[in-house]
Amino acid sequence: MITALLVAFAVYVLAGQQITEKVKAFIATAKMPTIDGKHVAALALLVAAGIAVLPSRSSTPAPQPVPVPPAFTLKGKFIGERAASDSIVMAALCSELADCIEYDGSHDQRLKTGVAFDELRVAARELRCKGDSIGARQPKVREAVQKFLEDAVGSSGGPVTPESRAAWVSAFRDLSRAAADVTR
């Protein structure tokens, strides 16, 4: 707005007298239109619409979005020469566990307790890794996973509800994603 006023003032300073003479000559020769009530009402509506379209300035600041908690990560926790292969095996194992628990929930529901989920995890790891323990080789990963699972699903080994089953599935998928992200 101030820029337009400055430009108009500069034009007036440079050519103001000539413009004034031409405007006076036009007014003297031109027939002025008659303005009646309809024209005034239409002009008032246009001004009101223009004011309504202008953005309003609020004295209160806009609410800030709630910060999203950082995603669980295992980066920097896998160490040693088998770090990459351990993270790949863990990603695949956790993904399969999530799929198995989810499938079981929509079919036979053989896995009915948190203890059963943990026993499935241990059996799958022993069978897949032939008794080898990734947690023994990667203690930082073991500690991070243990804390994550306690925070995500708790430590109750009791009966599983549909909500707690969904929490286990989500937790194993998050672990799978975190382990897979290590090698990306």
DSSP letters along 107-148, please? Answer: TT----BHHHHHHHHHHHHHHHTTT--HHHH-HHHHHHHHHH
Domain range annotation of the chain: 83-182
Residue 41 is predicted with a pLDDT of: 80
Predicted confidence band of residue 9 (pLDDT cuts 50, 70, 90): confident
Q: Is the pLDDT of residue 67 over 90?
A: no
Residue 40 is predicted with a pLDDT of: 79
Predicted confidence band of residue 158 (pLDDT cuts 50, 70, 90): confident
184: exposed, middle or buried (Cβ count in 10 Å: 0-12, 13-18, 19+): exposed
Mind giving me the DSSP string for 35-81? --HHHHHHHHHHHHHHHHHSPPPPSSPPPPPPPPPPPP--TTT--ST
Q: Is the pLDDT of residue 75 over 70?
A: yes
Q: Is the pLDDT of residue 86 over 70?
A: yes
Average confidence (pLDDT) over 49-57? 73
